[in-house]
Chain A
Amino acid sequence: MRSRRVLLVGYEDQDNLGIRYLSSRLLADGHETRIVAFGNDPGPLLATIEEWEPDVVGFSLIFQYMVPEFGAVIRALRGAGVDAHFTIGGHYASFSPEELLRQIPELDSVVRFEGEETLAEVVATLDTGAWRDVDGIAWLDGGAAVVNPPRLGGSPIDELPEPDRRDVDYRAQDLPTASVLASRGCPWKCSFCSIITFYEANGTKGRRRRDPLKVVDELEGLVRGRGVRLVLFQDDDFLAGGPAARRWAVQVADEIVARGLHEEMRFKLSCRSDELRPELLEPLIEAGLCHVYLGVESGDPDSLVSLNKLLEVDAHINAGKILRELDLTFDFGFMLLEPWSTMGSARGNAMFLRDFTADGWVVAGFCRTLPYVGTPMEQRLREEGRLVGPALDAEYRFLDPRVDLLWDFCLMAFEGRNYGRNATWNLLRGLLFDTHLDLPGRERDLGRHTAARALVRASNGVMIDVLEAALDLIEDGDATTVDDPELLELARLARREDTLIRRELATMMLEGRRESMYEALFR
């Protein structure tokens, strides 16, 4: 087989493990690869292509909303005469290949779902043109999209080489941080999430966990070979899978301790509220667990049903209590509104946020549920005839127009506080994490942490006060449009206070030692 040059282009955020696994898989077949970060300016990418002359350029599309940006860059490259094979992958690409090919007809192929084996086969068959017959791809035949049968079986995760991290200089980072994937898939069927449908499309079931020894081998290489001190487990749910998964997690923890890695690094994981148990967390903490991302999503019973979370609000409260008692920092995802939200469920969520975050241990923030392609929620909204707008940005309106008004108000009042890469919510989460972190050789900064918690209390408090005041105005019928003077004044108050909080936050961050952590970890 002829060795090919493959350039992999992806949005780099906490390591793009997707393209790093693709790269290592291609390297194992004897191909040459390079990884470059995606940017809106096609100039640097074109310069790399002209200098290195790849046979294939693979784009990793993580975010559905970035399709126009990817389209613009791909068109610019074709316009500049690049004739390499262009392929693309990711969740949106997997679920909507026809639409994506319609939007970006300059693409030659779409690699759907887990892509390591599929891409390897496409690259191997480029010479003969047989790539068009590869399972798991979609391509354009004379302008018409052809979707080949899916590749069944999923990638053999214990046989895959470790992700290609050749281009990352961890030691140059203020806090050398690497992402690791210890499993793929998720057994839960939350209505807003496409993880299960993504992996089941390959014919696999539930969550596939890697051999704990291989996971810790990877950690050891990163910590002792590359100087990594913080590991972010990017598993969608590190503890999912019942008793067997819990045993597996403890095996990973024990192996970390057995090799003494807990003396050299800390790690973070993500999970659900109802999976947390003190007896499970204790060995993980001993092994270096320092932070948990909790998929709370809602604190209202009706919304939890709509989201198919299959748990009660008490599970969240209990999880928060356990984490505080074990002195673990955490943050959580929260959707104030989902397509079937009512004013009552919104108020329930606001009350939950107030109780859950009152002590400043955790930052309150929220978004609303989006109907991402491939999710049961998108399917249900489609069936109910509620999806509006272009396929790429399919939208819905709430059943009660007052909830629409509430959301419009939230965008107006909390833009910059809750949303955006540099949002106050993100910065505060980073600050709490940083001031609480105790790494070997670096003591926890309790004074700064106490100050950070006070600032978080201030930010949480004003956001929830404003939210509840807006709920009152809208529910009472006092405000019926987003430009209502009282709503405008409330929004001004929220934004003014947020500006002041950010000023105070800036002084705390300057006082700290590694501002870059906030950028790297919490976006």
Chain B
Amino acid sequence: MSNHFTTAGKRYREGTSFPGFGALDVDVSAPTTIDQIAPAFLPDGTTQRGFLFWDTGRRITNLRHVRWTFNHLPDWTNWNATAWYGVGGNGPPQPLVGLDAYWVGQGTLDPTPIDGPGSSFVNGPGAGNTAWPWMGNDHEVRTQWGPATIRALDHLRRSVSDPQLDFSSLMTLIFGGDDSSVFNENDDGLGSSGGVVTGIAATTAQTLSFAQNAGATVMAGYVQPVASKVKFPDSLIELIDEAVLNHLVFTNVDPSPDDLVRLKLIVESIDLVRGERVSEDVFSGLVDAARGMSKAELTRTIAGTKATLARGEAALKSLQAIQAKAPTKVVSAPVRTLGTGQKAAAKRKTAAKSKTAATKRKTATKRKTSTRKR
């Protein structure tokens, strides 16, 4: 059975297929090298699209020419690469650097990749002259008032149900692509990936600098961390040992200690597969740690703890507001037809209710000392 390698063109950022691109569909049965040069510009109806970047399958690059070298065929099965094409901007160039994020192998990401505290910007003199986020857009940095050094975030996540991604690369896009060299991609180091083509983290500098009044479009690539191998037997033994040592396994109740151990193991496994660290309770060890803190660290910790508590209170109030609005349990009641007397009583009741609101406004209507003279 041979491996399968494909390339395709897509419209940026829509992600729709771009049929004008000369796609490849190759069966790979022996170590080989495949080259493809994406055209700089391609027509798309009445519009002209320019090459922006390649998703090689493991990284992104703004070079049009990519060379894939495959030497480890048993390590993967299907390999897909995508060339992205966009439409050029209108109007005069602006002193604006726009950053977008991309999940290698998946597509565009909506959250901003800009690490605000890790970057430096020069703001203008006005209250609204904030270089980042420019006009409230956290994907844009205004360079009108000075140079900017922009750092990409270490991690990004598309949504809560997606894994946390690792930074891979940061590059300025060129409309029509970069012809200066060839980008070499390969299938090295996929041995433990279970046949999946995995991205490569931290392949370029994480920071780019721009001069005052510079304008650019920058892409930050992110990859899913390679899943750690979960040593189920070892973990299981450790957990059971721990449970026994702590006298947790002493009775068969529901949930049984076995269930608890399995549950704990599953939770840890999911975290490991997602490439995440097991989270700790926010307050654990806080007081102990405080004893070794400097005055400034203690000040920050107190401010942070206060803020956490205050946010918690806000969340609690939100929950209570939702609870107050939640429909009460509906109890089916037999349908009854109202008699004339009952209908009149119901009508009076409704009128009385609306009178409450009307009375409120009556006070105001009493002030009807109109100044209108016409």
Contacts and interface: CB of A to CB of B under 8 A. Distances in A.
Interface of A: 40-43, 63-65, 68, 72, 75-76, 212-213, 251, 254-255, 257-260, 262-263, 283, 286-287, 367-368, 370, 389, 393-395, 411-412, 415-416, 419-423, 445, 447-448, 450-455, 457-458, 461-462, 465-466, 469, 472-473, 478, 486, 488-493, 495, 497, 500-501, 504, 507-508, 511
B90 A257 contact: no
Nearest to B294: A486
Given A286-B367, A416-B133, A489 B125 contact: no
A511 B321 CA distance: 10
A368 B124 CA distance: 12
Nearest to B121: A415
Contact of A419 (B94, B130, B370, B373): B130
A225 B137 CA distance: 36
Q: Return the 5 tightest CB-CB contacts between A and B, nearest first.
A: A422-B136, A447-B321, A458-B310, A451-B317, A258-B370
A420 B123 CA distance: 11
Contacts of A458: 307, 310-311, 313-314
A213 B367 contact: no
Interface residues of B, number: 58
A65 B128 CA distance: 9
B186 interface: no
B317 A469 contact: no
Given A458-B310, A491-B117, A415 B296 contact: no
B310 to A, nearest CB: 3
Contact of A262 (B92, B127, B361): B361
Contact of A465 (B126, B303, B313): B303
B278 interface: no
17 contacts: A65-B124, A65-B126, A75-B92, A212-B371, A254-B369, A255-B372, A258-B370, A389-B125, A411-B123, A412-B117, A420-B133, A420-B136, A421-B136, A454-B310, A455-B311, A462-B307, A469-B303
A217 B70 CA distance: 78
Contacts of A43: 90-91
B126 to A, nearest CB: 5
B318 A462 contact: no
Given A65-B125, A65-B129, A68-B144, A455 B364 contact: no
A451 B318 CA distance: 5
A395 B125 CA distance: 7
Nearest to B145: A393
A465 B324 contact: no
Residue in B145, B315, B320 with the greatest tally of chain A CB atoms within 10 Å: B315
Contact of B116 (A455, A462, A495): A495
Interface in B340-374: 361, 363-365, 367-374
Contacts of A500: 307, 311
Given A461-B307, A466-B303, A451 B321 contact: yes
A416 B115 CA distance: 13
B314 A469 contact: no
Interface string B302-335: 1110110011011111101110110000000000
Contacts of A416: 116, 130, 132-133, 138
Given A421-B128, A462-B310, A472 B299 contact: yes
B135 interface: yes
A457 B296 contact: no
Residue in A255, A257, A259 with the greatest tally of chain B CB atoms within 10 Å: A257
B352 to A, nearest CB: 18
A393 B124 contact: yes
A287 B366 CA distance: 12
B374 A41 contact: no
B357 to A, nearest CB: 9
Nearest to A451: B317
Contact of B371 (A42, A251, A287, A395): A251
A72 B138 CA distance: 24
Contacts of B137: 422
B13 interface: no
B203 to A, nearest CB: 26
Contacts of A423: 136
A478 B370 CA distance: 65
B300 interface: yes
Contacts of A412: 117
A43 B124 CA distance: 27
Residue in A370, A451, A466 with the greatest tally of chain B CB atoms within 10 Å: A451
B303 A462 contact: yes
Contacts of B363: 286
B319 to A, nearest CB: 8
Contacts of B136: 420-423
Contacts of A213: 371-374
A363 to B, nearest CB: 13
B115 to A, nearest CB: 10
Contacts of B116: 415-416, 495
Contacts of B370: 254-255, 258-259
Contacts of A286: 363-364, 367
Contacts of A76: 91-92
Contacts of B132: 415-416
Residue in A287, A469, A478 with the greatest tally of chain B CB atoms within 10 Å: A469
Residue in A64, A254, A259, A507 with the greatest tally of chain B CB atoms within 10 Å: A254
Contact of B322 (A453, A478, A511): A511
A257 B368 contact: yes
Interface in B119-175: 121, 123-130, 132-138, 144-145
A500 to B, nearest CB: 6
Contacts of A461: 306-307, 310
A469 B117 contact: no
A465 B90 contact: no
Contacts of B297: 489
A194 to B, nearest CB: 14
A362 B367 CA distance: 31
